[in-house]
Amino acid sequence: MKSIKAAVIGATGYAGQELVRLLYNHPEVDVKVITSKSYLGENYTDIYSNFSHITEDILQDDDLEKISKEVDVIFVALPHGILSKKVTKEILNNCKIIDLGADFRIEDKDVYEKWYATEHISFELMEEVVYGLCEVHRDKIKNAKLVANPGCYTTTSILSLYPVVKENLIDTNTITIDAKSGVTGAGRGVSLNTHYCETNENMKAYKVASHRHTPEIEQELSKAGNKDIKLTFTPHLTPMNRGILATCYANLKAGVTYEDVKQAYEKHFKDEYFVRLMKKGNFPETKWVKGSNFIDIGFEIDERCNKLIVLGALDNLVKGAAGQAVQNMNILFGLDERCGLNTAGIFPV
Protein backbone atom coordinates (compact mmCIF):
# COMPACT_ATOMS: atom_id res chain seq x y z
CA MET A 1 0.00 0.00 0.00
CA LYS A 2 1.33 3.42 -0.92
CA SER A 3 2.16 5.43 2.16
CA ILE A 4 2.33 9.12 1.14
CA LYS A 5 -0.84 10.98 0.17
CA ALA A 6 0.00 13.90 -2.11
CA ALA A 7 -1.64 16.88 -3.79
CA VAL A 8 -0.39 18.96 -6.71
CA ILE A 9 -1.58 22.57 -6.80
CA GLY A 10 -1.22 23.95 -10.31
CA ALA A 11 -1.13 20.60 -12.07
CA THR A 12 -1.61 21.95 -15.59
CA GLY A 13 1.54 24.04 -15.89
CA TYR A 14 4.67 22.44 -17.31
CA ALA A 15 6.27 21.89 -13.90
CA GLY A 16 2.96 20.72 -12.44
CA GLN A 17 2.47 18.21 -15.23
CA GLU A 18 5.99 16.90 -14.72
CA LEU A 19 5.25 16.51 -11.01
CA VAL A 20 2.10 14.53 -11.75
CA ARG A 21 4.04 12.29 -14.14
CA LEU A 22 6.76 11.58 -11.59
CA LEU A 23 4.35 11.07 -8.69
CA TYR A 24 2.11 8.63 -10.56
CA ASN A 25 5.20 6.51 -11.14
CA HIS A 26 6.46 6.82 -7.57
CA PRO A 27 6.08 3.53 -5.65
CA GLU A 28 5.29 5.24 -2.33
CA VAL A 29 2.92 8.01 -3.44
CA ASP A 30 -0.84 8.12 -3.85
CA VAL A 31 -1.90 11.27 -5.70
CA LYS A 32 -5.13 12.31 -4.01
CA VAL A 33 -5.73 15.80 -5.40
CA ILE A 34 -4.71 17.73 -8.50
CA THR A 35 -5.88 21.30 -9.00
CA SER A 36 -6.17 23.97 -11.66
CA LYS A 37 -7.86 27.37 -11.81
CA SER A 38 -7.91 27.48 -15.60
CA TYR A 39 -9.29 23.95 -16.11
CA LEU A 40 -11.38 23.50 -12.96
CA GLY A 41 -13.70 20.49 -13.21
CA GLU A 42 -12.09 19.07 -16.34
CA ASN A 43 -10.59 15.62 -16.73
CA TYR A 44 -6.80 15.73 -16.59
CA THR A 45 -6.49 13.60 -19.69
CA ASP A 46 -8.41 16.22 -21.67
CA ILE A 47 -5.52 18.60 -20.96
CA TYR A 48 -2.66 16.11 -21.20
CA SER A 49 -3.46 13.09 -23.35
CA ASN A 50 -0.23 11.39 -22.28
CA PHE A 51 -2.06 10.46 -19.06
CA SER A 52 -4.76 8.46 -20.85
CA HIS A 53 -5.19 5.01 -19.26
CA ILE A 54 -3.13 6.25 -16.29
CA THR A 55 -5.60 8.53 -14.49
CA GLU A 56 -9.16 9.74 -14.76
CA ASP A 57 -8.68 12.40 -12.09
CA ILE A 58 -10.72 15.59 -12.25
CA LEU A 59 -9.05 18.93 -11.62
CA GLN A 60 -10.23 20.47 -8.35
CA ASP A 61 -10.19 23.88 -6.69
CA ASP A 62 -7.07 24.77 -4.70
CA ASP A 63 -8.58 25.09 -1.23
CA LEU A 64 -5.32 24.66 0.69
CA GLU A 65 -6.91 24.43 4.12
CA LYS A 66 -9.27 21.66 3.03
CA ILE A 67 -6.63 19.80 1.04
CA SER A 68 -4.10 19.99 3.89
CA LYS A 69 -6.41 17.83 6.02
CA GLU A 70 -6.57 15.14 3.34
CA VAL A 71 -2.92 14.65 2.38
CA ASP A 72 0.58 14.35 3.83
CA VAL A 73 2.31 16.69 1.37
CA ILE A 74 1.20 19.46 -0.95
CA PHE A 75 3.29 20.41 -3.96
CA VAL A 76 2.59 23.97 -5.04
CA ALA A 77 3.46 24.74 -8.67
CA LEU A 78 2.15 28.29 -8.95
CA PRO A 79 3.67 31.64 -9.97
CA HIS A 80 5.23 33.79 -7.27
CA GLY A 81 3.02 35.95 -5.08
CA ILE A 82 0.21 33.41 -4.66
CA LEU A 83 1.29 30.92 -1.98
CA SER A 84 2.35 33.63 0.47
CA LYS A 85 -1.26 34.83 0.43
CA LYS A 86 -2.70 31.35 1.04
CA VAL A 87 -0.45 29.43 3.42
CA THR A 88 -0.86 29.59 7.22
CA LYS A 89 0.71 27.97 10.28
CA GLU A 90 -2.44 25.89 10.66
CA ILE A 91 -2.00 24.47 7.18
CA LEU A 92 1.67 23.68 7.91
CA ASN A 93 0.60 21.87 11.07
CA ASN A 94 -1.62 19.64 8.94
CA CYS A 95 0.88 18.65 6.26
CA LYS A 96 4.20 19.41 4.58
CA ILE A 97 4.39 21.88 1.70
CA ILE A 98 6.96 21.87 -1.09
CA ASP A 99 6.77 25.15 -2.99
CA LEU A 100 8.11 25.22 -6.55
CA GLY A 101 7.50 28.97 -6.69
CA ALA A 102 9.72 31.76 -5.41
CA ASP A 103 7.77 33.06 -2.42
CA PHE A 104 9.95 31.49 0.26
CA ARG A 105 13.34 31.21 -1.44
CA ILE A 106 14.64 34.65 -0.50
CA GLU A 107 15.47 35.09 3.20
CA ASP A 108 15.35 38.90 3.18
CA LYS A 109 11.83 40.33 2.84
CA ASP A 110 13.00 43.61 1.33
CA VAL A 111 15.12 41.80 -1.25
CA TYR A 112 12.19 39.58 -2.22
CA GLU A 113 9.78 42.49 -2.57
CA LYS A 114 12.28 44.52 -4.58
CA TRP A 115 13.08 41.79 -7.11
CA TYR A 116 9.58 40.35 -7.38
CA ALA A 117 7.67 43.64 -7.15
CA THR A 118 5.01 42.25 -4.84
CA GLU A 119 4.26 42.30 -1.12
CA HIS A 120 5.08 39.18 0.87
CA ILE A 121 2.04 38.50 3.05
CA SER A 122 3.29 35.68 5.31
CA PHE A 123 6.98 36.32 5.83
CA GLU A 124 6.66 35.28 9.49
CA LEU A 125 6.52 31.69 8.21
CA MET A 126 10.16 31.88 7.05
CA GLU A 127 11.14 30.29 10.36
CA GLU A 128 9.48 27.11 9.08
CA VAL A 129 11.24 27.22 5.70
CA VAL A 130 14.29 25.37 4.42
CA TYR A 131 15.82 26.13 1.03
CA GLY A 132 15.43 22.80 -0.72
CA LEU A 133 18.76 22.37 -2.48
CA CYS A 134 19.08 18.73 -1.49
CA GLU A 135 22.82 18.28 -1.93
CA VAL A 136 23.56 21.27 0.31
CA HIS A 137 20.75 21.42 2.90
CA ARG A 138 19.77 17.78 3.25
CA ASP A 139 19.96 17.63 7.06
CA LYS A 140 17.76 20.70 7.49
CA ILE A 141 15.25 19.51 4.91
CA LYS A 142 14.53 16.36 6.93
CA ASN A 143 12.63 18.32 9.58
CA ALA A 144 11.17 21.14 7.49
CA LYS A 145 7.50 22.03 7.32
CA LEU A 146 7.83 24.17 4.22
CA VAL A 147 10.48 23.52 1.58
CA ALA A 148 11.37 26.27 -0.88
CA ASN A 149 12.21 24.27 -3.99
CA PRO A 150 15.02 26.09 -5.87
CA GLY A 151 14.65 27.40 -9.39
CA CYS A 152 16.24 25.85 -12.46
CA TYR A 153 18.84 28.53 -13.18
CA THR A 154 19.70 28.69 -9.49
CA THR A 155 20.12 24.95 -9.01
CA THR A 156 22.47 24.77 -11.99
CA SER A 157 24.48 27.83 -11.01
CA ILE A 158 24.76 27.15 -7.28
CA LEU A 159 25.74 23.50 -7.60
CA SER A 160 28.20 24.30 -10.38
CA LEU A 161 30.04 26.82 -8.19
CA TYR A 162 29.40 25.59 -4.65
CA PRO A 163 32.57 23.48 -4.12
CA VAL A 164 35.02 26.14 -5.30
CA VAL A 165 33.25 28.87 -3.30
CA LYS A 166 33.07 26.67 -0.20
CA GLU A 167 36.77 25.78 -0.45
CA ASN A 168 37.82 29.40 -1.14
CA LEU A 169 39.49 28.56 -4.46
CA ILE A 170 38.19 31.49 -6.50
CA ASP A 171 37.96 35.25 -6.32
CA THR A 172 34.22 35.56 -5.70
CA ASN A 173 34.24 39.17 -6.93
CA THR A 174 34.84 37.87 -10.46
CA ILE A 175 31.96 35.39 -10.82
CA THR A 176 30.07 35.63 -14.11
CA ILE A 177 27.30 33.19 -15.06
CA ASP A 178 26.17 32.85 -18.67
CA ALA A 179 23.11 30.59 -18.74
CA LYS A 180 20.82 29.22 -21.44
CA SER A 181 17.30 27.85 -20.93
CA GLY A 182 14.76 25.95 -22.97
CA VAL A 183 11.40 27.60 -23.62
CA THR A 184 9.49 25.58 -21.00
CA GLY A 185 11.31 27.66 -18.40
CA ALA A 186 8.95 30.50 -19.30
CA GLY A 187 5.88 28.45 -18.35
CA ARG A 188 2.84 27.37 -20.34
CA GLY A 189 1.09 30.73 -20.51
CA VAL A 190 0.72 32.47 -23.86
CA SER A 191 3.37 35.10 -24.54
CA LEU A 192 4.66 36.70 -27.71
CA ASN A 193 8.24 36.08 -26.60
CA THR A 194 7.72 32.31 -26.54
CA HIS A 195 5.73 31.88 -29.76
CA TYR A 196 7.32 29.44 -32.19
CA CYS A 197 8.23 32.07 -34.76
CA GLU A 198 9.82 34.24 -32.08
CA THR A 199 12.02 31.49 -30.60
CA ASN A 200 12.81 29.17 -33.50
CA GLU A 201 16.18 29.81 -35.17
CA ASN A 202 16.94 32.44 -32.55
CA MET A 203 18.86 32.92 -29.33
CA LYS A 204 18.58 35.98 -27.15
CA ALA A 205 19.53 37.33 -23.76
CA TYR A 206 16.73 38.63 -21.56
CA LYS A 207 16.36 40.42 -18.22
CA VAL A 208 20.01 41.42 -18.47
CA ALA A 209 21.35 42.51 -15.06
CA SER A 210 17.82 42.15 -13.65
CA HIS A 211 16.80 38.48 -13.55
CA ARG A 212 14.97 37.46 -10.37
CA HIS A 213 17.11 34.39 -9.82
CA THR A 214 20.16 36.58 -9.21
CA PRO A 215 19.57 37.24 -5.48
CA GLU A 216 18.77 33.57 -4.92
CA ILE A 217 22.12 32.51 -6.38
CA GLU A 218 23.93 35.23 -4.43
CA GLN A 219 22.19 34.26 -1.20
CA GLU A 220 23.24 30.61 -1.32
CA LEU A 221 26.78 31.21 -2.57
CA SER A 222 27.23 33.89 0.11
CA LYS A 223 26.34 31.32 2.75
CA ALA A 224 28.75 28.83 1.19
CA GLY A 225 31.58 31.36 1.10
CA ASN A 226 30.68 32.94 4.46
CA LYS A 227 30.79 36.42 2.91
CA ASP A 228 28.65 38.73 0.84
CA ILE A 229 28.86 37.75 -2.83
CA LYS A 230 27.63 39.78 -5.77
CA LEU A 231 27.84 38.31 -9.26
CA THR A 232 26.85 38.87 -12.87
CA PHE A 233 24.09 36.60 -14.16
CA THR A 234 22.86 36.71 -17.75
CA PRO A 235 20.11 34.33 -18.92
CA HIS A 236 19.40 33.42 -22.55
CA LEU A 237 16.42 31.80 -24.25
CA THR A 238 17.27 28.99 -26.66
CA PRO A 239 15.06 27.22 -29.23
CA MET A 240 14.67 23.92 -27.36
CA ASN A 241 11.91 22.61 -25.10
CA ARG A 242 13.91 21.58 -22.04
CA GLY A 243 17.28 22.14 -20.51
CA ILE A 244 19.61 24.54 -18.73
CA LEU A 245 23.27 25.01 -19.58
CA ALA A 246 25.18 27.38 -17.30
CA THR A 247 28.73 28.43 -18.08
CA CYS A 248 30.31 29.98 -15.00
CA TYR A 249 33.55 31.99 -14.96
CA ALA A 250 35.76 33.14 -12.07
CA ASN A 251 39.40 33.97 -11.45
CA LEU A 252 41.32 31.37 -9.47
CA LYS A 253 43.13 32.29 -6.28
CA ALA A 254 46.91 32.35 -6.62
CA GLY A 255 48.50 28.92 -6.72
CA VAL A 256 45.25 26.96 -7.20
CA THR A 257 45.73 23.99 -9.56
CA TYR A 258 43.49 21.75 -11.63
CA GLU A 259 43.94 19.03 -9.03
CA ASP A 260 42.84 21.39 -6.23
CA VAL A 261 39.62 22.14 -8.10
CA LYS A 262 39.03 18.48 -8.91
CA GLN A 263 39.47 17.52 -5.25
CA ALA A 264 36.95 20.20 -4.20
CA TYR A 265 34.26 18.80 -6.50
CA GLU A 266 34.97 15.24 -5.42
CA LYS A 267 34.91 16.23 -1.74
CA HIS A 268 31.42 17.70 -1.98
CA PHE A 269 29.81 15.63 -4.73
CA LYS A 270 31.45 12.21 -5.08
CA ASP A 271 28.70 10.61 -2.96
CA GLU A 272 25.86 12.62 -4.48
CA TYR A 273 23.98 10.29 -6.80
CA PHE A 274 22.27 13.02 -8.81
CA VAL A 275 25.46 15.00 -9.43
CA ARG A 276 27.53 13.53 -12.26
CA LEU A 277 31.07 14.91 -12.44
CA MET A 278 32.50 14.80 -15.95
CA LYS A 279 35.90 13.36 -16.79
CA LYS A 280 38.65 15.79 -17.78
CA GLY A 281 38.08 17.11 -21.27
CA ASN A 282 34.37 16.20 -21.26
CA PHE A 283 31.68 18.81 -20.73
CA PRO A 284 27.91 18.74 -20.02
CA GLU A 285 25.29 18.73 -22.76
CA THR A 286 21.59 19.26 -22.23
CA LYS A 287 20.67 16.21 -24.32
CA TRP A 288 22.19 13.82 -21.77
CA VAL A 289 20.16 15.10 -18.81
CA LYS A 290 16.81 15.58 -20.55
CA GLY A 291 14.03 13.79 -18.66
CA SER A 292 16.30 12.93 -15.71
CA ASN A 293 17.01 14.27 -12.23
CA PHE A 294 20.76 14.47 -12.87
CA ILE A 295 22.95 17.53 -13.07
CA ASP A 296 26.17 17.10 -15.06
CA ILE A 297 29.13 19.29 -14.08
CA GLY A 298 32.47 19.71 -15.82
CA PHE A 299 35.25 22.27 -15.63
CA GLU A 300 38.42 23.49 -17.28
CA ILE A 301 41.09 26.02 -16.38
CA ASP A 302 42.18 28.68 -18.84
CA GLU A 303 45.80 28.96 -17.71
CA ARG A 304 46.46 32.02 -19.88
CA CYS A 305 43.96 34.00 -17.83
CA ASN A 306 44.13 31.97 -14.59
CA LYS A 307 40.38 31.57 -14.98
CA LEU A 308 38.12 28.69 -13.96
CA ILE A 309 35.33 27.73 -16.37
CA VAL A 310 32.61 25.50 -14.91
CA LEU A 311 29.70 24.14 -16.93
CA GLY A 312 26.52 22.65 -15.51
CA ALA A 313 23.55 21.11 -17.32
CA LEU A 314 20.18 19.86 -16.09
CA ASP A 315 16.58 19.43 -17.19
CA ASN A 316 14.77 22.56 -16.01
CA LEU A 317 11.52 20.65 -15.46
CA VAL A 318 13.09 17.76 -13.51
CA LYS A 319 16.18 18.55 -11.42
CA GLY A 320 15.33 22.21 -11.95
CA ALA A 321 11.74 21.82 -10.69
CA ALA A 322 9.58 18.69 -10.29
CA GLY A 323 12.34 16.11 -9.86
CA GLN A 324 14.04 18.13 -7.16
CA ALA A 325 10.65 18.56 -5.47
CA VAL A 326 10.22 14.78 -5.39
CA GLN A 327 13.79 14.41 -4.12
CA ASN A 328 12.87 16.83 -1.32
CA MET A 329 9.75 14.79 -0.56
CA ASN A 330 11.84 11.63 -0.34
CA ILE A 331 14.09 13.33 2.22
CA LEU A 332 11.12 14.65 4.22
CA PHE A 333 9.56 11.20 4.51
CA GLY A 334 12.74 9.21 5.10
CA LEU A 335 12.82 7.48 1.72
CA ASP A 336 15.81 6.75 -0.48
CA GLU A 337 16.33 9.99 -2.43
CA ARG A 338 16.43 8.01 -5.68
CA CYS A 339 12.95 6.59 -5.14
CA GLY A 340 10.81 7.38 -8.17
CA LEU A 341 13.68 9.26 -9.82
CA ASN A 342 16.25 6.62 -10.68
CA THR A 343 15.89 6.76 -14.43
CA ALA A 344 18.25 7.68 -17.24
CA GLY A 345 17.59 10.67 -19.44
CA ILE A 346 15.49 10.35 -22.59
CA PHE A 347 17.48 10.12 -25.82
CA PRO A 348 16.91 10.86 -28.63
CA VAL A 349 13.95 13.14 -28.19
The tens digit of pLDDT for each residue in 210-240 reads 999 999 999 999 999 999 999 999 999 999 9
Band of residue 198 on the pLDDT scale cut at 50, 70, 90: confident
- Average pLDDT for the chain: 96
pLDDT at 190: 65
Q: Is the pLDDT of residue 27 over 70?
A: yes
Residues classed as catalytic? 152
Q: What would the CATH number be for the domain defined by 153-315?
A: 3.30.360.10
Lowest mean pLDDT of 21-30, 197-206, 282-291, name the range: 197-206
- Is the pLDDT confidence value at 1 over 70? no
Return the HEC string of the chain: CCCEEEEEECCCCHHHHHHHHHHHCCCCEEEEEEECCCCCCCEHHHHCHHHCCCCCCECECCCHHHHHCCCCEEEECCCCCCHHHHCCHHHHHHCEEEECCCCCCCCCHHHHHHHHCCCCCCHHHHHHEEECCHHHHHHHHCCCCEEECCCHHHHHHHHHHHHHHHCCCEEEEEEEEEEEECHHHHCCCCCHHHCHHHHCCCCEECCCCCCCCHHHHHHHHHHHHCCCCCCEEEEEECCCCCCEEEEEEEEECCCCCHHHHHHHHHHHHCCCCCEEECCCCCCCCHHHCCCCCCEEEEEEEECCCCEEEEEEEECCCHHHHHHHHHHHHHHHCCCCCCCCCCCCCCCCC
Give the global pTM: 0.96
Average pLDDT over residues 39-49: 96
pLDDT for residue 100 is more than 70: yes
The CATH number of the domain covering residues in 4-150+319-332: 3.40.50.720
Average pLDDT over residues 109-113: 96
Chain segment 235-285, per-residue pLDDT in tens: 999 999 999 999 999 999 999 999 999 999 999 999 999 999 999 999 999
